[in-house]
Amino acid sequence: MPTTAPYDAFLQACDEMHRRRDRVAKPVLEALIQRHVGPELPSEDLLSHIIAESLLTRLDRKLVEAKNIYLQTFDIPQIELFYRMCESYPQVPAAHRVANGYLLDALTQCRDATLFEIGIGRGVQVASLITELQRAPGHLRTLRVLALDPDATNLENAKARIEALPKGPIAVSFHRVHAMLESLSPAQLAQLATDAGGNVVVNSAYTLHHTVHKPNDTELRTNLLRRIAQFFRPQLFTLVEPNADHDTEALARRVDACFKHFGAVFDLIDRSDIPSEHKFVVKEKFFGREIRDIFGVSDAYRCERHEHYESWLFRFAKSEWTPYPRVLDHGLALPAYCSVESSPGLVRLGYKQQPLIAVFAFESRGARTGAEQ
C-alpha cells in the first residue's frame, strides 16, 4: 500500500468529505495542486495533481479555476497520440493480440459464424482480426459482424474501415446495433441472438466497465453476462479489462486503487522510449481523462468503473460460463520488465508483477456449435 505524504493527505481529505466537512477537505486538496504542469513534473506529483484537481472539482469547480494552473499543451494529432500510448503501454496492444488469438482459434473451426462485438469503437481490433482470418481462414467462409456501439459515428467509421479491407476467401457482412448493451431488453437481446444464428463468438475490449448502473448495484454486469450466455450461447467470449478497483462508492478505496493502478501505468510509460512531451500528454490527457471521471463526476453518472480481475472471474462463475478449453501459445514479446501470467481462461498482463490488464476467454455451457470436422 502506498505510504507517501500525498497518499495520506488524500485519505484525510476523503474522510473529511465523507463527514461532509468540505471546508476542512478543501485546503488539504489545494496543497496538492501544482502551479506548473508539464513534462518536467515527476509522475507521482502529476498523478497527485490530477486526483486533487478532480476531487476539488467535485467540491467546487470555481475553486479549481481560481488556482490559475499553468498546463503545458502540445499539438500532437490524436491518432499519433494513440499510437504513442500503445508504444509506451505495450500491454494494451498485447491484450488485443491475446483476445484475437482466441477469436481466431474459435472462428476458424466454423464454416459460418457471427462475431458479436460489444463496443466496436472505430473497429481497429476487429479489422486486425478479419485481416488475420483472410490470411488463414481455416474452415471459415462467411462472417457476420454484429457491431454494437452507442456512438453512431463509431459505427460508421468501423463499417468503413472493415469494408475497405482487402477481400479474401471469407465473405464479411457488417450489421450495426446503435445502443448500449445495458439498455437492451431481454426481448431485444433474444432477437439479436436469433439474427446471429449459431457459431457465435463475443468480444468486449475495455467496454463492460463503462456499463451504467446505479450506485452500489453489484449485479447488473453479472446479469448481462448471464443474458449473453442464455440468448447467444457463444462458443467463446473474450473480455479485455483493466485490473483496478474503481467500481466502489468509497472515495478512499478509489484513491488507493488509483495510486496502485495508475501509479504503475505512469511508471511504465516513463520507461518507454517516446519523447518526454508525448509521455506527459499520454499521462495527462489519455489517462487523466479516466482519473477525472473516477473522482470528479457524480457517482450516478461516472463511467470509469474498473474492477479487479477476480471480480470478473466471480461474475463469469455466477453466470455459468466455463474457461475456454483450448490452450494457446500467444507468442507475446514484451519488455523484460513486463509480466505475463496465464491460467485457464485468463491471461494477466502486468508490470513488476502487478496485473494491469486481464484478458478472459470463456465459453457458455450450452454453446451452439457447428464446427467443421
The 3-class secondary structure across 2-56, one letter per residue, is CCCHHHHHHHHHHHHHHCCCHHHHHHHHHCCCCCEECCCCCHHHHHHHHHHHHHH
Nearest to 139 by CA among 113, 178, 172: 113
pLDDT at 64 over 60: no
For residue 173, tell me if it sits in a domain: yes
Residues 173 and 283 in one domain: no
Provide the whole-model pTM: 0.91
Residues in the chain, total: 373
Q: What are the φ and ψ backbone dihedral angles of 175, each rounded to 5 degrees? A: -130, 125
Which residues face 363 on adjacent strands? 322
Q: What are the φ and ψ backbone dihedral angles of 266, each rounded to 5 degrees? A: -65, -40
Q: Under a CB-based contact definition with an 8 Å cutoff, are residues 145 and 174 in contact?
A: yes
Q: How many domains does the chain have?
A: 2
Residues 330 and 222 in one domain: yes
Q: Is the pLDDT higher at 140 or at 60?
A: 140
CA distances from 236 to 68, 79, 156, 265 (A): 51, 31, 26, 29
For residue 80, tell me if it sits in a domain: no
What percent of the chain is helix, strand and coil (3-state, nearest 5)? Answer: 50, 20, 35
The CA R_g of the chain, rounded to the nearest whole Å, is 22
Residues 276 and 189 in one domain: no
Q: Lowest-confidence range among 72-81, 258-267, 295-304, 309-318? A: 72-81
Nearest to 272 by CA among 90, 91, 96: 90
Confidence (pLDDT) at 69 = 46
CA distances from 60 to 31, 53, 63, 251 (A): 15, 10, 5, 17
Displacement of CA 295 from its chain's centroid (Å): 17
pLDDT at 169 over 90: yes
Displacement of CA 137 from its chain's centroid (Å): 28
Residues 38 and 158 in one domain: no
Residue 149, SS3 per DSSP: strand
For residue 327, tell me if it sits in a domain: yes
Residues 186 and 229 in one domain: yes
pLDDT at 193 over 90: yes
- What is the distance between the alpha carbons of residues 148 and 297, in angstroms, rounded to a whole number? 25
Residues 225 and 253 in one domain: no
For residue 369, tell me if it sits in a domain: no
Count of CB atoms within 10 A of residue 103's CB? 24
Residue 146, SS3 per DSSP: strand
Confidence (pLDDT) at 85 = 87
Residues 179 and 317 in one domain: yes
For residue 371, tell me if it sits in a domain: no
For residue 297, which amino acid is it? V
Residues 350 and 263 in one domain: no
Dig out the grid coordinates for 137 from the structure: 481462414
For residue 370, tell me if it sits in a domain: no
For residue 301, tell me if it sits in a domain: no
Mean pLDDT of the chain: 90
Specify the DSSP class assigned to residue 201: E
Residues 236 and 127 in one domain: yes
Nearest to 182 by CA among 161, 206, 156, 211: 211
Residues 25 and 112 in one domain: no
Q: Lowest-confidence range among 33-37, 176-180, 223-227, 316-320? A: 33-37
CA distances from 201 to 1, 140, 171, 236, 329 (A): 39, 13, 17, 5, 20
Task: For residue 74, name the pLDDT band (cuts at 50, 70, 90).
Answer: low
Task: For residue 174, name the pLDDT band (cuts at 50, 70, 90).
Answer: very high
Confidence (pLDDT) at 66 = 47
Confidence (pLDDT) at 73 = 65
Half-sphere exposure of 270 (CA within 13 A, CB side): 14
Report the sign of the C-alpha dihedral through residues 79, 84, 86, 89, in that order. negative
CA distances from 61 to 25, 46, 64, 203, 296 (A): 14, 19, 5, 38, 9
Residues 20 and 168 in one domain: no
Residues 114 and 184 in one domain: yes
Domain that holds residue 354: 86-243+306-364
Confidence (pLDDT) at 78 = 57
Where is 237: in which H helix or E strand?
strand 236-242
CATH number at residue 172: 3.40.50.150
For residue 79, tell me if it sits in a domain: no
- What is the distance between the alpha carbons of residues 367 and 373, in angstroms, rounded to a whole number? 17
Euclidean distance between the first and the last CA atom of the chain, given in angstroms as a whole number: 52
Q: What is the mean pLDDT of residues 204-209?
A: 94
- What is the distance between the alpha carbons of residues 3 and 43, in angstroms, rounded to a whole number? 16
